[in-house]
């Protein structure tokens, strides 16, 4: 099968639906199903969520559309995108290294956590959760992540599956994978929501999610909501910019941006509907359980629900962890593509060879990250383990700096006429939101990103 080509002979997504699902799949990941409930639980629930949704609509989504505009204008790869849109200023080509470096760093440690979800899915499928208690889950998780072999093997499996999909190309790999996994993800979500809403204390979980208590709102909650919105859409990394290189010329960037942001937000909210009614239905559990929520708290919750029925424990466990696996893979695909496309398009490698190269490097780095929970827990750089260092670099430097540079580039470097023509498909569609979009990109987004950046570095703690 020969892939359709457009954009100067380059590969493109075959359908608009495929483009939307691929972009949504890149955004939807463990950050929605794991990190969002953790952040919401820690910061008071509904009030945090309202602020988060506001930042998603008026900050994160416009920055995402900025990436879309840059990527599609280039039509081949991120390096060409920046050079073409800047009017031939080659100094901006160095921005192509952002997604390359981001892809290596993010996939290396993300694949470790994704491997955990795959291991837990395997455990659920083989009945490993039935009959266990809280102490068992705590001990099992600690034993697993500290093992020198098992987590590395599951990390390798995640990277291998990701490589297999990306090596097939834009349409037969990335687009087709999104068309299969995203619908499955929503089927799993709907099933789990139905189960969760049938629980006796579901109303308490929904109240926590949707009845705001604004007395809990302070500067930390606002900045955390802002950071979660940016993190959730993965803005600043370059994966959305990379995918936009495969957008067809008739894609309405603003409209599809709203659609992708809506899907991403919906998955995050639905994840809260799954988790918090379940947490409130088991005595002694708290919604602010933190990162252990998914791998220790929830397996215990499954044991207590529906009278501890072995059948329901099995079904809930299997479906939930398969949901996590789907979410992890849709994001890992975009992470690997960011780096692989550079070696394919700019270094002349075949796509399979470029994918293997990136996969091998990420596996080596991922092994370092995995071992930092056990054998290499005492090996530290700048006072951090490999896993913590990679996470720190990506979340606190690369993402905010990448988002800032993209806003500065499109808002201040690119000719306004070029920007307007890209947003209106050369005048073929109306874009009533364009003036507000330009205002946000030029002024609002850079200021907000600076605030998030300073908050992540602990700057505001000096004033407490």
Which of helix, strand or coil describes residue 132? coil
Q: What are phi and psi of 384, to 5 degrees?
A: -130, 150
Contact 358, 338 (CB under 8 A): no
Query: Mean pLDDT, to the nearest integer, of 180-198?
Result: 89
Q: What are phi and psi of 139, to 5 degrees?
A: -65, -40
Contact 419, 438 (CB under 8 A): yes
Query: Mean pLDDT, to the nearest integer, of 368-390?
Result: 91
CA distance 318 to 316: 6
Nearest to 316 by CA among 147, 451, 191: 191
pLDDT at 11 over 90: no
pLDDT at 8 over 60: no
pLDDT class of 325 with cuts at 50, 70, 90? very high
pLDDT (tens digit per residue) in 263-315: 999 999 998 898 888 878 776 666 665 556 678 777 877 777 777 788 888 88
pLDDT of residue 79: 67
Query: Mean pLDDT, to the nearest integer, of 359-366?
Result: 96
**Where would I find the H helices in 219-347?**
219-232, 239-244, 253-280, 297-304, 310-345
pLDDT at 6 over 70: no
Contact 401, 101 (CB under 8 A): no
pLDDT at 162 over 60: yes
pLDDT (tens digit per residue) in 276-288: 888 787 766 666 6
pLDDT (tens digit per residue) in 17-70: 998 999 988 888 877 877 888 788 888 889 999 999 999 988 889 989 998 988
CA distance 81 to 93: 8
Contact 94, 133 (CB under 8 A): no
pLDDT of residue 1: 40
Residue 183: partners with Cβ closer than 8 Å, 6 or more residues away:
none
- Count of residues in the chain: 464
Query: Mean pLDDT, to the nearest integer, of 62-89?
Result: 80
Percent of the chain scoring above 70 in pLDDT: 92
DSSP secondary-structure letter at 347? S
pLDDT of residue 285: 64
pLDDT class of 74 with cuts at 50, 70, 90? confident
pLDDT at 81 over 60: yes
pLDDT class of 153 with cuts at 50, 70, 90? very high
Most confident of 80-89, 145-154, 212-221: 145-154
pLDDT of residue 205: 87
Contact 372, 357 (CB under 8 A): no
Percent of the chain scoring above 90 in pLDDT: 31
Q: How far is CA 255 from the centre of its chain?
A: 20
pLDDT of residue 7: 47
pLDDT at 463 over 60: no
Give the DSSP letter string of 313-340.
HHHHHHHHHHHHHHHHHHHHHHHHHHHH
Q: How far is CA 303 from the centre of its chain?
A: 29
How large is the C-alpha radius of gyration of the chain? 22
CA distance 135 to 174: 40
The model carries a pTM of: 0.87
Most confident of 286-290, 395-399, 404-408: 404-408
Give the DSSP letter string of 5-51.
EETTTEE--SSHHHHHHHHHHHH-SHIIIIIHHHHHHHTTSHHHHHH
pLDDT class of 150 with cuts at 50, 70, 90? very high
Q: What are phi and psi of 221, to 5 degrees?
A: -65, -45
The count of other CB atoms within 10 Å of the CB of residue 229 is 29
Mean pLDDT of the chain: 85
CA distance 332 to 29: 9
The count of other CB atoms within 10 Å of the CB of residue 285 is 17
Nearest to 260 by CA among 33, 91, 64, 66: 64
Using the Cα atoms of residue 237, residue 167, residue 79 and residue 101 in order, give the sign of their dihedral.
positive
Angle at 269 between CA 329 and CA 229, to 5 degrees: 75
pLDDT of residue 88: 67
Using the Cα atoms of residue 102, residue 151, residue 41 and residue 305 in order, give the sign of their dihedral.
positive
3-7, 85-89, 405-409: least confident range: 3-7
pLDDT (tens digit per residue) in 51-66: 999 999 888 899 899 9
CA distances from 273 to 287, 301, 356, 358 (A): 12, 14, 39, 37
């Amino acid at each position: 099968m020969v892939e359709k080509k457009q954009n100067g002979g380059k590969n493109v997504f075959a359908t608009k639906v495929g483009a939307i699902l691929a972009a949504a799949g890149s955004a939807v990941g463990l950050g929605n199903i794991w990190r969002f409930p953790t952040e919401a639980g820690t910061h008071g629930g509904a009030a945090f969520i309202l602020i988060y949704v506001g930042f998603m609509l008026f900050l994160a989504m416009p920055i995402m559309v900025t990436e879309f505009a840059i990527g599609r204008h280039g039509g081949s790869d991120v390096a060409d995108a920046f050079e073409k849109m800047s009017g031939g200023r080659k100094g901006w080509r160095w921005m192509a290294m952002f997604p390359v470096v981001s892809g290596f760093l993010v996939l290396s440690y993300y694949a470790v956590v994704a491997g955990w979800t795959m291991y837990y899915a395997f455990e659920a499928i083989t009945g490993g959760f039935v009959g266990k208690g809280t102490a068992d889950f705590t001990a099992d998780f600690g034993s697993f992540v500290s093992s020198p072999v098992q987590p590395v093997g599951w990390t390798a499996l995640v990277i291998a599956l990701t490589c297999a999909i990306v090596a097939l190309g834009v349409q037969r790999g990335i687009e087709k994978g999104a068309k299969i996994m995203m619908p499955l993800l929503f089927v799993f979500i709907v099933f789990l929501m139905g189960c969760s809403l049938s629980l006796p204390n579901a109303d308490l979980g929904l109240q926590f999610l949707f009845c705001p208590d604004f007395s809990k709102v302070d500067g930390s909650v606002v900045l955390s909501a802002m950071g979660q919105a940016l993190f959730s859409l993965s803005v600043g990394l370059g994966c959305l910019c990379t995918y936009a290189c495969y957008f067809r010329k008739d894609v309405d960037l603003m409209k599809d941006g709203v659609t992708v942001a809506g899907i991403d937000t919906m998955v995050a909210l639905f994840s809260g509907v799954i988790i918090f009614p379940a947490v409130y239905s088991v005595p002694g559990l708290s919604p602010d359980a933190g990162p252990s929520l998914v791998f220790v708290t929830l397996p215990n919750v499954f044991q207590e629900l529906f009278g501890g029925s072995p059948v329901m424990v099995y079904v809930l466990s299997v479906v939930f962890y398969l949901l996590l696996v789907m979410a992890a893979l849709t994001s890992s695909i975009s992470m690997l593509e960011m780096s692989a496309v550079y070696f394919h398009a700019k270094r002349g490698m075949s796509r399979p060879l470029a994918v293997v190269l990136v996969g091998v490097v990420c596996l080596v780095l991922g092994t370092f990250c995995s071992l930092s929970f056990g054998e290499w827990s005492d090996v530290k750089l700048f006072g951090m383990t490999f896993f913590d260092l990679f996470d720190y670099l990506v979340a606190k430097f690369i993402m905010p700096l990448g988002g800032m540079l993209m806003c500065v580039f499109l808002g201040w470097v690119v000719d306004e006429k070029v920007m307007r023509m890209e947003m209106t498909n050369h005048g073929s569609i109306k874009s009533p939101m364009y003036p507000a979009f330009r205002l946000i990109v030029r002024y609002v987004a850079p200021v907000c990103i600076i605030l998030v950046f300073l908050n992540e570095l602990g700057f505001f703690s000096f004033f407490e």
